[in-house]
Structure 1
C-alpha cells in the first residue's frame, strides 16, 4: 500500500514541480536533444506512475513476489470470486488504469488522424501547385511570401517558396533546407504529436501544457544545430532573419515563425557545450524519471519474494 501511495502522490507533485525545475534549466538551449529527452521522460513518468499506482493497488505484493503463475491465478480468482473491500479497491484501480490508457489512446489516435488528413490535403495541393527541384531536393511553390517548411510523414518533403528563393542566397537556401531535412530525419513531428496528445488528453496539467510549448521550441533548436554541422552558423542566422515573418501551415514544421529571432541570437552567440559530467547527469535524470516509478512499484514484490524464499531457506 505504501508503494501505491507514493506512486499516486508523485504525479500530483511532479505535474506542478517538474515544469518549474525544467524551466530553470539554463543549459537547455546548449543541449536541446538532452532537454527534449528530459521533458519526454518527465511526462512519461507521470503517466507511468499513475498506471503503476493502479497496478500496486490491484495486485498484492505477495502475488508479484511469487511469480506470474500466481498472478494469473489471482486475477482469475478475483474475476470469479472477488468480493469485499479488496475486490472493490482492485476494481477501482483497474477502472482508473483503463480510463487513463483509453484516454491517451483515443487522443493519440485523434491527433495522428487529424494531422495525417491535413498533411494529405496539403500534399495534394503541393502536387498541383508545386514542382520538385532535384538540385534542392525540395518542392518549390510559386508564392511571394518567404516560407520554408517541411511536410512530415512517411513520404516527408521539404518545401520552399519562390519568395524565399529570391530573398535568400544559394548558401542560405541550402542551410534552411538542411534545417528542414533535420526535422524529417529526426521525426520531430512525432515528438510534437506526443506532447499534443497528453496536453489535450489531460488539459490544465501544468507539466503537459508546458511540455507542448517547450518541445516545439526545442525541436527547432535541435534542427538548427544539425544544420550547423554542415553550414556556417552565420548563414543559418541570416536566413532565419529573412524567414522570420513567414507563417508555415500549423501542421508542418517551419524554419521561421515566432522563435526565429531568439534562434538568430543563439546562432550568433552559441553557448558552451555541456561538459561530459553534465551530460551524464542529464542522462541519469532521464533514467531516474523513466525507471523510478517501476522500481517503486516492484520493491514490495521483491521484498515479498526475498522474505518468502529466505524463510524457506532458513526453514531447511
Structure 2
C-alpha cells in the first residue's frame, strides 16, 4: 500500500513539477537536443508507468508476490476468471490501469491514422502538381510561397517550392534539404506523434502539454545540427531567414516556421556541446525516470518474497 501511495504522489508531482524543471533547463537542452528529447520522452513514460503501477500495487498485495511467481499467477488467474479474491478496490484499481493504457493506445492509434490519411492525400496531390527533380532528390512545386518540407512515411518525399528555389542560393537549398533528410532518417514524425498522443490522451496535464511543445522545437534543433555537420552554419542560418514566413502543412516537417528566427541565432552563435559529465548526468536522469517507478513498485513484493523464503529456509 505504501508503494502505491508513493507512486500516486510521484505521478501528481511529476506531472506538475517536471515541466517547470524543463523550462529552467531550456538553454541546456539547446546544447544537446537529442538528449533533451529523450528526457522529455522518459518523463512522459515515467508518469504514465507510475500511474499504472500504482493501480497494480493497490490491486495485488505485496504478500501475494512474496509466496512466489506460481502462486501469484494462480491468484491472478482466479481473479480474472471468476473474480474470486477480487475486492472492489482491486477491481477499481485494475479498471483504472486498463483505462489509462487503453486511452493512451487509442489516442496513439488515432494520431497515427489521421496523419497517415492526410499524408496519403497530400502525396496524391504532389503526384499531380509536382515534378521530381533527380538532382535535388526532391519534389518541386510551382508555388510562390517559400517552403521546404518533408512528407514522412513509407514513400517519404522532400518537397520544395519554386518560390524557395528562386530565393535561396544553391548551397542553401542543399543545406535545407539536408535538414529535411535528417527528419526522415530520424523518423522524427513518430517522436512527434508519441508526444501528441499523450497530450491528447490526458489533456490539461502540464507535463504532456509542455513536452509536446518542447519536443516540436527540439526536433528542429536536432535536424539543424545534423545539417550543420555537412554544411556551413551561416548557409543554414541564411536559408532559415528566407524560409521563416513559410507555413508547411501541419502533418509535415518543415524547415521554416515559428522557430526559424530563434534557430538562426543558435546557428550563428553556437554554444559549447555538453561535457561528458553533463551527458552522463542526463543519461542517469533518463535511467531514474524510466526505472524509478518500477523499482518502487517492486520493492514491497521483493521484500515480502525474501522474508517468506528466508523464513522457510530457517524453518528447515
TM-score by length of 1: 0.97
Q: Distance in 2 between matches of 1:72 and 1:65?
A: 12
Is the contact made by 2:66 and 2:307 (CA closer than 8 Å) also made in structure 1? no
Is the contact made by 1:78 and 1:87 (CA closer than 8 Å) also made in structure 2? no
Q: Distance in 2 between matches of 1:307 and 1:280?
A: 36
Q: Distance in 2 between matches of 1:214 and 1:45?
A: 17
Q: Which residue of 2 aligns with 1:221?
A: 221
**1:198 to partner: Cα distance:** 0.8
Q: Which residue of 1 aligns with 2:312?
A: 312
**Residue-by-residue CA offset, 1:239-283 (whole Å, 9 max, x unaligned):** 000100100001101000000000000000001100000000000
Unmatched 5+ stretches in structure 2: none
Q: Distance in 1 between matches of 2:140 and 2:126?
A: 9
**Residue-by-residue CA offset, 1:105-144 (whole Å, 9 max, x unaligned):** 1111111111100000000000001111111111111111
Is the contact made by 1:63 and 1:71 (CA closer than 8 Å) also made in structure 2? yes
Q: Distance in 1 between matches of 2:228 and 2:2?
A: 50
Equivalent residues in 2 for 1:70-219, closer than 5 Å: 70-79=71-80, 80=82, 82=84, 87-219=87-219
**1:9 to partner: Cα distance:** 1.2
**1:178 to partner: Cα distance:** 0.3
* SS of residue in 1 equivalent to 2:87: helix
Is the contact made by 2:59 and 2:94 (CA closer than 8 Å) also made in structure 1? yes
TM-score by length of 2: 0.97
Equivalent residues in 2 for 1:18-29, closer than 5 Å: 18-25=18-25, 26-29=27-30
Q: Which residue of 1 aligns with 2:44?
A: 43
Q: Distance in 2 between matches of 1:231 and 1:81?
A: 64
Q: Which residue of 2 aligns with 1:292?
A: 292
Q: Distance in 1 between matches of 2:99 and 2:83?
A: 24
Q: Distance in 1 between matches of 2:184 and 2:262?
A: 22
Matched, 1:236 2:236: yes
* SS of residue in 2 equivalent to 1:27: helix
Q: Which residue of 2 aligns with 1:60?
A: 61
* SS of residue in 1 equivalent to 2:139: strand
Is the contact made by 1:58 and 1:94 (CA closer than 8 Å) also made in structure 2? yes
**1:11 to partner: Cα distance:** 1.0
Is the contact made by 2:148 and 2:254 (CA closer than 8 Å) also made in structure 1? yes
Is the contact made by 1:31 and 1:273 (CA closer than 8 Å) also made in structure 2? yes
